[in-house]
Chain A
Amino acid sequence: MKFNSILTSVLTLSFIIAFAQETTIPQGHTNQNKFRQLYNELATPNAYRTASGAPGPAYYQQQADYVMELTLNDDTQELFGDQTITYTNNSPETLSYLWLQLDQNVRARDGQSFDRLDNGNDYYGTQRAVGPGFINAYILEEKFDGGFKIDLLQGTDGMDLPYTVHQTMMRIDLPTPLASETSISFRLKWHYNIPNRQFWDARSGYEYFKKDDNYAYFIAQFFPRMAVYNDVEGWQNQQFWGNGEFALPFGDYDVKITVPNDHIVESTGVLENRKAVYSSTMMKRFKEAKKSYDAPVFIVTQEEAEANEKSTPTGTKTWHFTAKNVRDFAFASSRKFIVDMMNVDVNGNDVMAVSVYPKEGNPLWEQWSTKTVASALKSYSRMTFDYPYHKAVSVHADDVGMEYPMICFNFGRPDENGYYSDRTKFGMIGVIIHEVGHNFFPMIVNSDERQWGWMDEGLNSFVQIIAEQDFGKSHPDAIAGMEHYPSDDMDPQNIVPYMSGDQDFIAPIMANPENVYQLGPNAYSKPATALNILRETVMGRELFDHAFKTFSQRWMFKHPTPEDFFRTMEDASAFDLDWFWRGWFFTTGVVDMGVAGVVDIKKFDDDMRYFSRYYTNSLRNLTPDDFNNRKEPKKFYKVTFEKPGGIPMPLIVEYSYADGTKERKTYPAQVWRKSDREVSKYIATDKEIVGVLVDPDNATADINKDNNTWPKILEENDFEKFKKQQD
């Protein structure tokens, strides 16, 4: 007995142990469903920003007004400024210090912006990896002394204010803290050496034209300006390293710019003393331009500009500009400039489209710049809100595309013989549309560019597609020979190489622009393509456009965050989009859907029970008459679709039948909600299915088309297609 019970225990125990080793204890998991809401990823709604994506009842924003007197020295390439800042604290808090941005300090002799670069891996930085130290020591004859020199910082009482500079940020420690709903004014005097734009690859600076020994100045980031203080970041004082752009508060500007008296200036703002700075000829032409809605009118012709290149100034002139409710200020000045203008009717409001360019921009610039500005204004206004400013200026500067309120600097230069390729032409038209578009995002829908590059670049690049298509339709001679304007981000297939590339070098869209690889596709093309797909394929134009306009109008002249955009798009459309934002914006997943198999289950008994069960259940409820008159489908297919890619998308299918007909069906993305990898559809039909094609229009950025057809068609790859063409 004892021996038996021991044996039994031993055997039982070994069995238990063996069994335990073969089975694993379930570990459980949190909700990983791709359709779960973004509660964990998005900031909690609050009184500043509501759950519907709108400014809340406690929403506030600060204001920074500037009165400035500037002097541009054309002999030494220096800019001097004397400015008064009036900062209004609309927050409920008391501020004991203020932060200002000193962007020129990115080129200070002791600047660290180059030290941060990983020369092996940093795409943008490495070409300038040498840095100011290297350039100063080995290339330049004289060391370039960049950065602001602060000559004076005083309160209105004439007392010096204590301040600390940490690279590109300056902290002013207020003797008396700034209470809520109060303002403070203080005065700054400063000067800095204007950098050679191309040499330093800077967004602003001068271009020196050797042939005629003249300078053209493209001045921006030129003054110490307030950083943003808000409910999301506190002070947005993240350093300016170069890739992350700008976060700026709104305010009113009053700026007097003193330049050589033979210079032509264009700037942000209304020109208050046009009669004092324009010749009588220019005034006459300006009045003509205001009456011209179809063709640009020259204010300064190329002939006159070329003659002016040879002039020597006999003194200075002061150009006085004022601007209300802008977030930044920039201007261009040169004796080389040609100027043309045209009036534009934007939904009943007159807006002047202006182009400013040296002769090196011709013949391309006089042909297309102003017309492009006009077209862009109309397209963007249609998608968001009427352009609220009185003018939009496009200035030609080589190798740059950069935006400021009412003025932008754009590339697009023919060669010395005036010849330009299609690539140069479309590059120019595209960049002008893009930079003018930036007036809307972020100049007016004022997002934090330093933290979220995509919020202005991606949204802007998306509307750019629509504006470019409009331009092609209204200016067919510009796209002569093409079906439509060649918009990069319009074809979802163009983003496939980036999205399907090495994951080590892809970052999600929801990442800080300073830290991502391949900034171009990350912040521009991928979000633009995603939004275009959302509009064309997921939501449809009507629902999308209404929601997009709602977002733009809710946040014009305010500071939105990504949450506000994501929430508004859903809130105004009744379209659950969390799965879309999660897949496209928060992950680096890809789209890959296909058809795994097609089975006629009336033939096979395996699934026959499904057929009989559904069928007989429905039959049970029929009246005898209906039962006798019933039709039985000749075929009952089970079509199985697979989704190897991470991002769920609407499943667009084209069924081909034996009689030659085709039928299209779009299953919403929710078809994947319970089964992320594979779903099946039962199709009752009288026609024989001979083909199934997933994503027939290449509308979803599917990275692998090999699994998109049934029966499997081995599609020709790009090499084979090209070779076929050649033979």
Chain B
Amino acid sequence: MRFLFFLCLVPLFSASTHKYYVSTTDMFFKPEQNQLQLVVRVFTDDYTASLSRFTSSEIKLDPDQLSETVLSKHMSAYFQQHFQLKSSASPVPFSFVGWAYKQDQTILYASFDSLPKMTELEWSNTFLMDVFSDQKNIVLLTTPKGKKSYLHTRDRIFAKFSF
């Protein structure tokens, strides 16, 4: 049964579609505000599948079937599970700001606030990897010093940036 579920999620493979298992995340490190801002872009179909599996229920997005409050709670929990900031101190405060749809993508907005003093930034990104073993998550980190890109895969879920 599990395999059939897998196969049902087979993407549009054709001469005209643009499906590929990649998500892109913009991470803005703002030392003045002590904040790490995140903008995650995922394909809505893939995200729906992963979110459904996470909540063990059938989630439908764009249009949303559940209320904004309920969905927000689910999405926030999912986000915190799949994007974790390594911190020696107690867990860093997290706010899930919201989401929007653009064509066939869902854009998620979140931030880590009141960042403790750190010499390096280390995080994990496992978005959608529970559903797609070959999922690739690209993270583009912007700091006051410049930009750096990282690639997360199932074999490489952590990434680090040293100041």
Interface contact B155-A719, CB-CB below 8 Å: no
In Å, the complex CA distance between A501 and B38 comes to 16
Tell me how far the C-beta of B2 lies from the nearest C-beta in chain A, rounded to whole angstroms.
11
Q: Which of A128, A497, A517 contacts B24 (CB 8 A)?
A: A497
In Å, the complex CA distance between A525 and B41 comes to 17
In Å, the complex CA distance between A525 and B17 comes to 10
A residues at B contact (CB < 8 Å): 119-124, 126-128, 130, 138-139, 198-199, 201, 203, 245, 399-403, 411, 421, 423, 426-427, 431, 434-435, 438, 457, 486, 488, 497, 500-502, 504-505, 517-521, 524-525, 704, 717-720, 722-723, 726
Question: B71 on the interface (CB 8 Å rule)?
Answer: no
In Å, the complex CA distance between A502 and B14 comes to 25
Q: Which of A421, A426, A488 contacts B63 (CB 8 A)?
A: A421
Interface contact B22-A518, CB-CB below 8 Å: yes
In Å, the complex CA distance between A421 and B104 comes to 11
Question: B158 on the interface (CB 8 Å rule)?
Answer: no
Interface contact A203-B15, CB-CB below 8 Å: yes
Interface contact B11-A457, CB-CB below 8 Å: no
Interface contact B18-A719, CB-CB below 8 Å: no
In Å, the complex CA distance between A421 and B62 comes to 7
Interface contact A520-B17, CB-CB below 8 Å: yes
Residues of B within 8 A of A434 (CB): 16
Interface contact A502-B138, CB-CB below 8 Å: yes
Asked whether A401 and B16 contact (CB < 8 A) given A201-B10, A719-B39, the answer is yes
Tell me how far the C-beta of A106 lies from the nearest C-beta in chain B, rounded to whole angstroms.
12
Q: Which of A119, A199, A401 contacts B14 (CB 8 A)?
A: A401
Chain B 1-44 against A: per-residue CB contact (8 Å), 1 yes, 0 no?
00110110111111111111110101010000000011101001
Residue of A with least CB distance to B28 = A717
Tell me how far the C-beta of B16 lies from the nearest C-beta in chain A, rounded to whole angstroms.
3
Interface contact B26-A717, CB-CB below 8 Å: yes
Q: A722-B98, A722-B109 are in contact. List 15 more A-B contacts (CB 8 A).
A: A120-B153, A122-B134, A124-B13, A127-B9, A399-B12, A403-B15, A423-B104, A431-B16, A500-B149, A501-B138, A501-B140, A517-B20, A521-B20, A718-B109, A722-B100
- Give the interface size bracket for B toward A: 35 or more
Residues of A within 8 A of B7 (CB): 127-128, 199
Interface contact B22-A717, CB-CB below 8 Å: no
Interface contact B20-A139, CB-CB below 8 Å: no
Interface contact A720-B153, CB-CB below 8 Å: no
In Å, the complex CA distance between A434 and B15 comes to 9
Question: B85 on the interface (CB 8 Å rule)?
Answer: no
In Å, the complex CA distance between A435 and B150 comes to 36
Residues of B within 8 A of A517 (CB): 20
Tell me how far the C-beta of A351 lies from the nearest C-beta in chain B, rounded to whole angstroms.
21
Residue of B with least CB distance to A138 = B3
Question: B103 on the interface (CB 8 Å rule)?
Answer: yes
Chain B 123-144 against A: per-residue CB contact (8 Å), 1 yes, 0 no?
0000000001110101010100
Asked whether A121 and B24 contact (CB < 8 A) given A203-B15, A400-B12, the answer is no
Within 8 A of A (CB), among B142-156: 142, 147, 149-151, 153, 155
Cross-chain pairs A/B with CB under 8 angstroms, 25 sampled: A120-B134, A122-B134, A123-B20, A123-B134, A126-B21, A127-B9, A127-B11, A130-B3, A199-B7, A399-B12, A399-B14, A400-B14, A401-B15, A401-B16, A402-B14, A402-B16, A423-B104, A500-B140, A505-B22, A519-B20, A520-B19, A525-B18, A722-B39, A722-B100, A723-B109
Q: Which of B4, B15, B22, B153 contacts A402 (CB 8 A)?
A: B15
User: Which of B136, B138, B149 has its CB near the most chain A CB atoms (within 10 A)?
Assistant: B136
Asked whether A401 and B17 contact (CB < 8 A) given A123-B22, A127-B9, A722-B97, the answer is yes
Question: B87 on the interface (CB 8 Å rule)?
Answer: no
Residue of B with least CB distance to A503 = B149
Chain B 69-111 against A: per-residue CB contact (8 Å), 1 yes, 0 no?
0000000000000000000000000000110110110010101
Residues of A within 8 A of B97 (CB): 719, 722-723, 726
In Å, the complex CA distance between A521 and B39 comes to 20
Asked whether A126 and B133 contact (CB < 8 A) given A403-B15, A524-B18, A717-B28, the answer is yes
Within 8 A of A (CB), among B31-71: 37-39, 41, 44, 62-63
Interface contact B149-A201, CB-CB below 8 Å: no
Tell me how far the C-beta of A417 lies from the nearest C-beta in chain B, rounded to whole angstroms.
12
Residues of B within 8 A of A124 (CB): 11, 13, 20
Interface contact A518-B134, CB-CB below 8 Å: no
Residues of B within 8 A of A401 (CB): 12, 14-17
Interface contact B140-A719, CB-CB below 8 Å: no
Residues of A within 8 A of B12 (CB): 399-401, 411
In Å, the complex CA distance between A411 and B24 comes to 26
Interface contact A718-B39, CB-CB below 8 Å: yes
Q: Which of B3, B13, B15, B37 contacts A720 (CB 8 A)?
A: B37
Interface contact B140-A717, CB-CB below 8 Å: no
In Å, the complex CA distance between A435 and B14 comes to 11
Interface contact A435-B134, CB-CB below 8 Å: no
Residue of A with least CB distance to B97 = A723
Interface contact A505-B136, CB-CB below 8 Å: yes
In Å, the complex CA distance between A139 and B13 comes to 21
Asked whether A719 and B111 contact (CB < 8 A) given A120-B134, A500-B140, the answer is yes
Residue of B with least CB distance to A435 = B16
In Å, the complex CA distance between A719 and B100 comes to 12
In Å, the complex CA distance between A198 and B11 comes to 10
